Amino acid sequence: MDFKKLKQFLAKDMRMSHVYQPVMIRNLLKNKGTANSAKIAKDLLAYDVSQVEYYQLITKNMVGKVLTNNRGITDKDGDSYNLNGFENLTKDQQKELIAICDSRIDEYIEKRGKNIWQHRRVSSRAIPGSVRYEVLKRAKGRCELCGISKDVKSLEVDHIIPRSKQGKDELSNYQALCYTCNAQKLNRDDTDFRELNKEFEARDKDCLFCNLPKKRIIDEDEFMKVIKDGFPVTKHHTLIIPKRHVADYFGLHQPELNSLNSMLQKHKDLIIKKDKTVTGFNIGMNNGVDAGQTVFHCHVHLIPRRKGDIENPRGGVRGIIPENKDY
């Protein structure tokens, strides 16, 4: 490609969804037109703020604490670290100490090999691209913990219950996390996942929804089951019910919330496909006696609505307190 065509591509024709293309071309231009993937990757890393943030966490939570609190080698001033006694070192002493650091780094890498970076490596059981797409689409391109957009910080697909704790490779056990939240989750999450797994098995022998006849269940996954309401408000009125015995929506864990949202979306689409008269939906749940709850096992109502099914639908769920419906 000649200069004019390359210039035209870079300046006008290149469609960018990230910085990758210009970074790679810049790298090739600086390396006489040839560079291996490792060199290009290093250039990309220079622009990846999330990588810097990850190692900032390592510095603050691990190495910085060891050298400052445990050893007294450094002290901390705000976000900066100072090497104690540095001002008393000669240039030759500094060079000698740097050489020792380099030597210790080389020795450690030679001894341990690539395993020292295993915590940053892509899993050997990679999540398929189609599943990753569904997780990121469900999260609407935002971190499900902090809410930051994928355009600001790259997102990763995380196992909510880790594989090491018998977490399953299922859509309901995945969440989209930004680089920083995923790193913080690894460092700070103290949930006893073994107990959480046991909790998902909780059933109540006297509970109506824990003991539904199989013939009533029209759909299910690992965490949810779906039935048609026994006393429907409208045609196709559907209930999505957690399999675990849990009192209300506020007691659901993230895998259950993911499953619930997936089932709501799936059955909304099925109802619309089946019944072209449906033009809207009410989604609701009663949490607590004073909110009208009578069966104390969480269940979510998916109620189809149709044009003209009531005289004035304005206000929707505000109608639970009739005098406050209008506004």
Per-position pLDDT tens, the chain of length 327:
678 888 888 888 888 767 778 888 888 888 888 888 888 888 888 777 767 777 777 788 788 888 888 778 898 888 888 888 888 889 998 888 888 888 888 888 788 776 666 555 545 566 777 888 888 888 878 787 776 777 777 788 888 887 777 778 888 888 888 877 777 776 455 445 445 667 778 999 999 999 999 999 999 988 899 999 999 999 999 999 999 999 999 999 877 888 899 899 999 999 999 999 999 999 999 999 999 999 999 999 999 999 999 998 998 888 888 888 777
Domain that holds residue 146: 129-197
Alpha carbon of residue 269 to chain centroid: 24
| Residue 208 half-sphere exposure toward CB, CA atoms < 13 A | 12
Q: Which of 134, 131, 150 is nearest to 142 (CA)?
A: 150
Angle between helices 179-188 and 49-58 (to 10 degrees): 20
Of 197, 232, 253, which one is at a domain's C-terminal end?
A: 197
> How many structural domains are present in the chain?
3
Residues 6 or more apart in contact with residue 316 via CB below 8 angstroms:
282
Token pair of 130, please? 């189609």
Q: How many helices (H) and strands (E) does the chain have?
A: 10, 9
Indicate if 217 and 293 belong to the same structural domain.
yes
Query: Looking at the domain assignment, is residue 290 inside a domain?
Result: yes
Tell whether 94 is covered by a domain: no
The pLDDT of residue 214 is 94
Final residue in a domain of this structure, among 197, 231, 246? 197
**Which pLDDT score, from 0 to 100, does residue 106 have?**
83
With respect to residue 60, please indicate whether it lies within any of the assigned structural domains: no
CATH at 171: 3.40.1800
Q: Is 53 part of a structural domain of the chain?
A: no
Q: Which of 159, 245, 253, 299 is catalytic?
A: 299
Query: What does DSSP assign to residue 142?
Result: B
Whether 98 is covered by a domain: the verdict is no
Structure token pair of residue 69: 């609190």
Spell out the residues 6+ positions from residue 52 whose beta carbon is closer than 8 angstroms to its own. Answer: none
- Decide if 18 is catalytic: no
Residues 140 and 230 both lie in one domain: no
Considering the domain architecture, whether residues 224 and 313 belong to the same structural domain is answered as yes
Same domain, 226 and 252: yes
Listed residue (254, 48, 235, 228) closest to 144, CA to CA: 254
Residue 214, domain CATH: 3.30.428.10
Q: Is 84 part of a structural domain of the chain?
A: no
What kind and span of H or E run contains 7?
helix 3-8
Residue 180: both structure tokens together: 């920083």
Give the domain-ending residue among 154, 170, 197: 197
Same-domain status, 219 and 256: yes
pLDDT at 191: 47
